[in-house]
């Protein structure tokens, strides 16, 4: 979403632990857990990519029901919108469960795939305007701003369709501009969700520590994701720092070349 934060503008290798998972419940139904940031780096970096989701769902075969469980701080706009578009096209029944945190571009998935949305009473939703890193001349910077506004308009339309007139376009725009964090009761009141559930999950609203610097109004109840400090068992701490720096440079160069912006 334009404004949704960048899933991992500069991804940090976390561990080989997978923060997203898809499980078969029966021959005809399954659960998809989006418990990570969303980026093209995917599971190898502890994130979830569009390819991860598409390949996993296709591997399920002919299911009739998919439950999408979300505890995500958001991520890259293009990856999130690709996941949203893919899931929206599927003809099986979909239910979304907001277990802990649904922020930034993750909200486009939750509210834009035509699913019934169930939210834990202790969970949080965050919506905001898109942002990006940019450099260059005046024309390039103006284009970057124009592109961000297009992202904002796209995501705002998802919210408008989801809430179906409960709140106005101007109100949604103001909420996005202010980086608004919503409780389950507020989401129900505004029409973002269909029902509040209690005690169905142990998930808590949490996100990687770098997101606390990216977001302005993080409530006190949001905790730091419990990440494994060991990046790779055979890599020294010094090498890990080098790997992080190289990853950041590669991601930034790629985004500049492809003119890709994060939310």
> Model confidence over 123-133: pLDDT tens digits?
999 999 988 77
Residue 258: pLDDT band with limits 50, 70, 90: low
Residue 24: CA count within 13 A, CB half-sphere: 10
Q: What is the pLDDT of residue 257?
A: 64
In a domain, 108, yes or no: yes
Which has the minimum average pLDDT: 12-26, 36-50, 148-162, 202-216? Answer: 12-26
At 199, the pLDDT band (50, 70, 90 cuts) reads confident
CATH number where 188 lies = 3.90.226.10
Q: Is residue 14 part of a domain?
A: no
Whether 13 is in a domain gets the answer: no
pLDDT (average), residues 108-112? 98
Tell me the torsion sign for CA atoms 193, 199, 200, 206.
positive
How far apart, in whole angstroms, are the C-alpha atoms of residue 229 and residue 208? 12
| pLDDT in the model for residue 163 | 98
**DSSP 8-state code for residue 31:** E
* The dihedral sign for the CA sequence 15, 128, 101, 61: negative
Residue 71 has pLDDT above 70, yes or no: yes
- Domain limits at 105? 20-258
Does residue 210 belong to any structural domain of this protein?
Answer: yes
Least confident interval from 5-9, 28-32, 86-90, 204-208? 5-9
Taking alpha carbons only, the member of 167, 190, 171, 180 closest to residue 119 is: 190
Residue 38: inside a domain: yes
Q: Which of 100-114, 172-186, 209-223 has the lowest mean pLDDT?
A: 209-223
Query: Domain for residue 7, yes or no?
Result: no
Residue 58 lies in a domain: yes
Is the pLDDT reported for residue 136 higher than 50? Answer: yes
Decide which of 41 and 13 is more confident: 41
Chain centroid to CA 169:
22
Number of compact structural domains in the chain? 1
Please report, in angstroms and rounded to a whole number, the separation of the first and last CA atoms in the chain: 6
> What was the pLDDT predicted at 215?
72
For the chain, what is the largest distance between any 2 Cα atoms, rounded to a whole number of angstroms? 56
């Amino acid at each position: 979403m334009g404004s949704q934060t960048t899933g991992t503008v500069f991804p940090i290798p976390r561990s080989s632990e997978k923060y997203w998972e898809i499980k078969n419940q029966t021959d005809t139904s399954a659960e998809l857990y989006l418990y990570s940031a969303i980026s093209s780096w995917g599971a190898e970096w502890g994130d979830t990519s569009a390819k991860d989701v598409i390949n996993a769902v296709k591997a399920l075969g002919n299911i009739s029901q998919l439950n999408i469980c979300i505890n995500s701080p958001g991520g890259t706009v293009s990856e999130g919108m690709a996941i949203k578009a893919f899931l929206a096209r599927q003809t099986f029944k979909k239910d979304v469960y907001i277990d802990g945190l649904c922020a930034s571009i993750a909200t486009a998935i939750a509210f834009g795939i035509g699913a019934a949305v169930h939210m834990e009473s202790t969970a949080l939703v965050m919506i905001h305007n898109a942002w990006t890193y940019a450099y260059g001349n005046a024309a390039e910077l103006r284009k970057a701003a124009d592109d961000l506004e297009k992202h904002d308009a796209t995501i705002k339309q998802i919210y408008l369709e989801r809430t179906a007139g409960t709140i106005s376009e101007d109100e949604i725009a103001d909420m996005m501009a202010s980086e608004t964090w919503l409780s389950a009761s507020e989401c129900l009141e505004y029409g973002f969700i269909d029902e509040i559930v209690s005690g169905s999950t142990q998930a808590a609203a949490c996100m990687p520590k770098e997101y606390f610097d990216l977001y302005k109004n993080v409530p006190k109840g949001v905790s730091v994701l419990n990440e494994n400090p060991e990046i790779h068992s055979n890599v020294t701490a010094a090498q890990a720092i080098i790997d992080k720096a190289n990853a950041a440079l590669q991601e930034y160069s790629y985004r500049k070349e492809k003119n890709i912006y994060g939310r």
